[in-house]
């Protein structure tokens, strides 16, 4: 194939045809042609030469040029593609380093092998341009719903024709046991778009919670307009789902708007999700209220929230327990996903039994340590006293407010409580010293003898040992392992030491040892105060 006037225009026509077929920029095809012709010219004139080809976008004429770059005399490495300043003066009056000397060379005739090579270069460039076009088109559609046509099934995965490309619906992204045949229409959620060696991959999903959210956005105009917002979604694909919504217009009921006239809107979503039952729940900023809503249709008697642990206890009537838990724990699991809290469900009978056990435990504690009868101990527990410290150091007026307690009784109780605590402290300190506790830690302010004993049992015996501890090692905490929240027991957790208190104690120890600048401790305390005010 020779580049002659006879086929110059044919180049442009070919480029236009390929660009239209692949839906890419014609200029990209022409650039590929230029590169393939340049490669063919190098094989003809020498691979060391820097030969470039320029195809005129109007006439189709291909110009072959040899390029030589001006460099310093001692920098010449390839005399075919480089030229010194002195040599360049033959071509330019005032050549500068970095200038290019351009000489036109005769066009080459493409032999069979060269033509085949040029074709491969063009096809490769066209494929790359097509992949870039597909990636650019679908990357901005990530997180939206797309309609497609099933092309084929490969090992349980569905390959979907999505217009200008293909998407893959993996086996685990299908709802239940749904099956598709070639040419079936399918609607799916674009979960991810990634560049890969084989081209851009569009990953589809029908099980993702956001697929349901996007379906509601299509069916409910108020969600699309932003009047109603979907705050949270939890799904057990193909079986049951919960969706929490809030309205920013007091005149519009968010639940009613999502349900639609005679359930028409929610039914359209249910049909698309293969009959998945959907609970539409009003979202509430108050965690307890939101949780009560999330556990529908079960009724809730009481909610107890442990914010530090991120757990929540829910008390339900005995007959509501199975409904609250749901089949195979489905209802409570979805409610937990929706609220992002660990939920423990117990019946009123269980909660009552636990309260009675705690009452009996505290009663026995006071009876044994204060040497009082059961009636008096029960009176203390009933008034909210939970431990000896509260009895020993409370304002005497609080004890006098209890029926049957006079000044002498109150004073005697406090004296006995203090004596017991002092004796317990003495024994704890002796035990800690026997374990090797050193004075540097024993004299550290903020730690009780019982805390010192617990630290010594854990091998923390010096101030240096204590200063190397992390706050969560002392106060305890929660970590997520394989999607499950796991409790990390802290050495001082049973003494109700918070993470903030543990951090302050450790930082103070580091300052005392000179490991940390005192200003860092002041900065940390200021940040804690700012967070507390917020």
Which DSSP string corresponds to 149-162?
A: EEEEEETTEEEEE-
Q: Which two tokens stand for residue 48?
A: 């060391």
pLDDT at 453: 92
The residue among 92 and 442 whose pLDDT is bigger is 442
Q: Is residue 1 predicted with pLDDT exceeding 50?
A: no
Q: Is residue 197 predicted with pLDDT exceeding 70?
A: no
Instruction: Give the Cα separation of 457 and 354 in Å (integer).
Output: 31
pLDDT at 452: 92
Instruction: Give the Cα separation of 521 and 503 in Å (integer).
Output: 10
Annotate 275-291 with b (16+ C-beta within 10 A) or e (fewer): ebebbbbbbbeebbebb
Q: Is residue 83 predicted with pLDDT exceeding 50?
A: yes
Q: Is residue 110 predicted with pLDDT exceeding 60?
A: no
Q: Which two tokens stand for residue 345?
A: 């469900």
Are 133 and 23 a contacting pair, CB within 8 Å? yes
Residue 483 has a CB neighbour count (10 Å cut-off) of 5
pLDDT at 5: 41
Q: Which pLDDT band holds residue 484 (cuts at 50, 70, 90)? A: low
Q: Which two tokens stand for residue 389?
A: 């410290």
Nearest to 214 by CA among 202, 226, 203, 224: 224
Q: Which pLDDT band holds residue 4 (cuts at 50, 70, 90)? A: very low
Q: Which two tokens stand for residue 358?
A: 């705690």
Q: Is residue 115 predicted with pLDDT exceeding 60?
A: no
Q: Is residue 506 predicted with pLDDT exceeding 80?
A: yes
Q: Is residue 141 predicted with pLDDT exceeding 70?
A: yes
Q: Is residue 6 predicted with pLDDT exceeding 50?
A: no
> Which range (48-57, 172-181, 370-379) has the least confidence?
48-57
Are 470 and 479 a contacting pair, CB within 8 Å? no
Burial status of residue 521 (CB atoms within 10 A of its CB: 0-12, 13-18, 19 or more): middle
Quote the percentage of the chain above a pLDDT of 90: 10
Q: What is the mean pLDDT of the chain?
A: 80
Q: Which pLDDT band holds residue 400 (cuts at 50, 70, 90)? A: confident
Place of tokens 């027991």: 489
The residue among 202 and 22 whose pLDDT is bigger is 202
Q: Which pLDDT band holds residue 113 (cuts at 50, 70, 90)? A: low
């Amino acid at each position: 194939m020779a580049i002659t006037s006879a086929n110059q225009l044919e180049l442009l026509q070919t480029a236009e045809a390929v660009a239209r077929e692949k839906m890419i920029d014609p200029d990209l095809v022409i650039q590929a042609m230029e590169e393939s012709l340049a490669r063919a010219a190098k094989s003809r004139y020498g691979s060391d030469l820097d030969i470039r080809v320029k195809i005129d976008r109007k006439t189709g004429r291909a110009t072959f040029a040899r390029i030589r770059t001006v460099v310093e005399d001692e920098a010449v490495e390839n005399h075919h593609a480089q030229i010194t300043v002195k040599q360049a003066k033959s071509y330019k009056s005032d050549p500068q380093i970095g200038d290019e000397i351009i000489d036109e060379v005769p066009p080459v005739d493409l032999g069979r092998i060269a033509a085949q090579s040029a074709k491969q270069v063009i096809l490769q460039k066209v494929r790359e341009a097509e992949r870039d076009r597909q990636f650019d088109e679908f990357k901005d559609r990530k997180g939206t719903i797309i309609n497609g046509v099933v092309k084929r099934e490969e090992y349980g995965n569905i390959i979907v024709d999505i217009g200008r490309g293909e998407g893959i619906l993996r086996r685990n992204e299908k709802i239940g046991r749904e099956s598709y045949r070639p040419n079936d229409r399918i609607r799916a959620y674009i979960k991810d778009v990634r560049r890969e060696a084989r081209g851009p991959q569009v990953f589809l999903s029908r099980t993702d919670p956001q697929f349901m959210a996007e379906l509601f956005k299509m069916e409910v105009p108020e969600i699309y307009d932003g009047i109603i917002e979907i705050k949270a979604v939890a799904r057990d694909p193909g079986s049951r789902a919960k969706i929490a919504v809030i309205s920013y217009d007091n005149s519009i009921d968010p639940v009613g708007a999502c349900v639609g006239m005679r359930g028409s809107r929610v039914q359209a979503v249910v049909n698309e999700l293969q009959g998945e039952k959907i609970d539409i729940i009003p979202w509430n900023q108050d965690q307890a209220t939101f949780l009560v809503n999330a556990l529908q249709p079960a009724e809730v008697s009481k909610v107890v929230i442990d914010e530090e642990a991120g757990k929540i206890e829910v008390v339900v009537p005995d007959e509501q327990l199975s409904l609250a838990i749901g089949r195979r724990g489905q209802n409570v699991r979805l409610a937990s996903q929706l609220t992002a809290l660990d939920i423990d469900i117990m019946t009123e009978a269980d909660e009552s039994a636990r309260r009675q056990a705690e009452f009996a435990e505290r009663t026995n504690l006071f009876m044994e340590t204060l040497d009082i009868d059961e009636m008096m101990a029960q009176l203390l527990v009933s008034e909210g006293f939970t431990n000896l410290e509260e009895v020993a150091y409370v304002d005497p007026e609080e004890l006098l407010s209890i029926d049957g307690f006079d000044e002498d009784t109150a004073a005697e109780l406090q004296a006995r409580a203090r004596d017991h605590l002092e004796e317990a402290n003495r024994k704890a300190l002796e035990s800690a010293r026997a374990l090797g506790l050193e004075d540097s830690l024993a004299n550290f302010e903020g730690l009780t003898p019982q805390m010192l004993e617990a630290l010594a049992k854990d091998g923390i015996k010096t101030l240096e040992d204590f200063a190397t501890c992390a706050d969560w090692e002392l106060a305890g905490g929660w970590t997520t392992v394989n999607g499950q929240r796991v409790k990390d027991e802290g050495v001082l957790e049973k003494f109700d030491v918070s993470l903030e208190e543990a951090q302050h104690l450790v930082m103070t120890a580091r300052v005392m040892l000179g490991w940390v600048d005192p200003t860092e401790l002041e900065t940390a305390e200021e940040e804690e105060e700012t967070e507390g005010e917020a």
